[in-house]
A and B are shown apart, each in its own frame.
Chain A
């Protein structure tokens, strides 16, 4: 018999065990497990169809999983939904707002629902949240008149009204310009500094990597990598060293010259007089290559190792999802030998 679960200060902020979400025959989330300690800001990324939104909906108690256990600060969300919702803040993707309410009315509705006190206390908290997301000047505006970015910030304000312990934000920066994204990042950082645990998904991967203390990559319903940004980059990024040389002039000639050097391949000229290539030499060989390049008359402004961008990583993950690698021979043999039996049954 499972013991009744309750809020615990010592328990991780989020604990997922063997989570599975099926839509009929389609497996959206395939038995993932994840533990997020308190105070962490974890980014969950993956290509479309990876299972992120389904996972977020389950965590936010809006969707019942096919099976699996999820706990928020020790509270089993399936057994004790109301208690879980009190400490949870959820912001959906392309967060909607009602068209017939003003900004302060929208926030006051949820302040009231969360029983944040008297009318004065609620007003004070609403103003505090509007200040935090820089929307105080829009207090009396209609929700429907807000721009995309303002709407996102408004819903973020609504999400943090009741000071949740765990925030689940599905694409909070979606549709925002660079300035708005910066403001969003600052708001989220403040929330994390105040002790909240933030679980966030985004397609702006480099930004996510900058903001998050941990990353989790999903693909085809499974977690393919988890750890700090560097750990993930190391695990999923290219194994072959890439070099980037920035020249004053003659990038094409430099590229041609590099292509003739031993250990160099996949040379490309990118904008800004930059030449990139793959190089399989160690640090000393890199230094020799640089010396040879300068000796050949090329004026090199900058030279260094290139890192796989997260877009590259995600693209790799997505393409592997579309064309799964061939089975190891041993596994293929097992499948081949089983086939006649399968067809007979």
Chain B
């Protein structure tokens, strides 16, 4: 029971004192009361709305206040609270407390933002009045609030993870704020390019679905009609589940992942944030989610960003997606898969210290091998599996879009599929082998001089003169960030610039060959180093012998 959790009780004591809570509560109630009365009065007396409709008008502004309380302040409190404890030094006391890691996670999760939850609850009477007197469909209202609470817990967990990983209090607070804005502003934009499932990390699809039920009846009906006309129903995976159902499922998966991260860190401070099995499974689930969410939207055209633009200007007549739009979407999906692969790889690749400790423990327990999937084991094989999953997912997505009815006769050639496979494998394995074999500093320098600088140079050259397009493509192709776009350019659809279709394949193959050779060298070097670590770790000795960088 959460109320019996010592950490939860601790924060109830400190954050619900009359002095601290009182002022926050007064401000919250003043704002909520003002919104409640002003909107109803305006609607009822100035706009001559009927009672039912005027009682509904405070719902949306109240939801905004509740959003600010829970998502902004609550998340910031979670992140800031964790780092405050770490900075003050009292976090060590909690580590030593004989509570299970899960109990500690839940204690902080509900304890740190307790004041924000109480203020949120204080606004609920106003909301309940509006729901009652406005005769709002309770199922729709229940769906919205279920998603609001689920989203709040998700963002609070994000704040806790930020506070656990980022050591500085101010940076943790800013990181958590940034994450909330990224989730609400950036993710819906990425959703336009095929990663539709990211929008289910927010409450927006549920609000769009249930919104008409909470608005004044005329506006609600108009919105519902417009939505039906503009956005014909296309359910993820073709399943007949409401948006709030998909939202709860998506958020539950992510929340569970964050809980696992925190549990691992509380169990052992030196643990990786995710185990290898979980990371690989989650990556595969993201790919499945990509396919299941994106492809049902192809037939209606909802998946294309240009359709959204046309919808805003009400210019549906004669709309068709552009061929380059499809290729860019494929490239973005490959790039996003690669970026997520890099993040997961960084999480599961062991540092030198972790390997040493692992081998020592193996010796102590009388074993001869590291436990499969344990933190000290190499992430090489797991990264390869994730890279293959990413390639399969991206190819499937490409085929789904390119071979749709929007591009008659178009196919995804085997060269494009091979290119996508190469990009994922060399990009993923090369990164992993470099990270584990050479360390973080090498990765950062490589990211700078191989990843970013060639792109900058290529952009400047291409902007300067058309005659420099060819060398720009050659130089830019060095960067793994442009490799997905080059891979996608193998999809031979009319409309691409001639300079690109002529040069891109050659440049791509050349740099991929270089990448493969470098990756093989790095992989062999990693294998050698791990063997050295295992041999030396089996006897006492200075670890300075083992570092060669």
Contact = CB atoms under 8 A, between A and B. Distances in A.
A266 B428 CA distance: 71
Interface in B79-118: 85, 88-90, 92-93, 95-99
A247 interface: no
A2 B98 contact: no
Contacts of A115: 98
Interface stretch (B205-213, B357-365, B473-481): B357-365
Interface string A91-118: 0101111111100010001101111000
B353 interface: yes
Contact of B540 (A31, A90, A100, A158): A31
A95 B92 CA distance: 10
B360 A66 contact: yes
Nearest to B543: A22
Interface in A1-38: 1-2, 18, 20, 22, 24-25, 27, 31
Given A2-B365, A114-B97, A100 B14 contact: yes
B528 interface: no
Contact of A110 (B14, B85, B97, B364): B97
Nearest to B107: A113
Contacts of B544: 25
Interface stretch (A40-48, A80-88, A172-180, A316-324): A80-88
Interface string B529-549: 000000000001011100100
A141 to B, nearest CB: 15
Given A18-B540, A113-B98, A114-B98, A2 B93 contact: no
B9 interface: yes
B96 A88 contact: yes
A144 B88 CA distance: 12
B274 interface: no
A90 B10 contact: no
A67 interface: yes
B403 interface: no
Contacts of B93: 110, 158
Contacts of A158: 93
A115 to B, nearest CB: 8
Contacts of A100: 14-15
B543 A66 contact: yes
B361 A78 contact: yes
Contacts of B13: 101, 105
Contacts of B96: 60-62, 85, 88, 90
Contacts of A65: 357
Contacts of A265: none
Nearest to A100: B14
Interface string A129-140: 000000000000
A98 B15 CA distance: 13
A96 B353 contact: no
Interface string A285-299: 000000000000000
Contacts of A18: 540
Contact of A101 (B10, B95, B361): B10
B231 interface: no
A78 B14 CA distance: 34
A199 to B, nearest CB: 15
B366 interface: yes
B270 interface: yes
Nearest to B89: A96
Contact of A22 (B14, B270, B353): B353
Given A25-B544, A64-B268, A109-B6, A92 B14 contact: no
B356 interface: yes
Given A25-B547, A61-B96, 13 more contacts: A22-B356, A24-B353, A62-B96, A64-B268, A65-B357, A67-B357, A85-B98, A96-B89, A98-B14, A98-B90, A105-B14, A112-B9, A113-B6
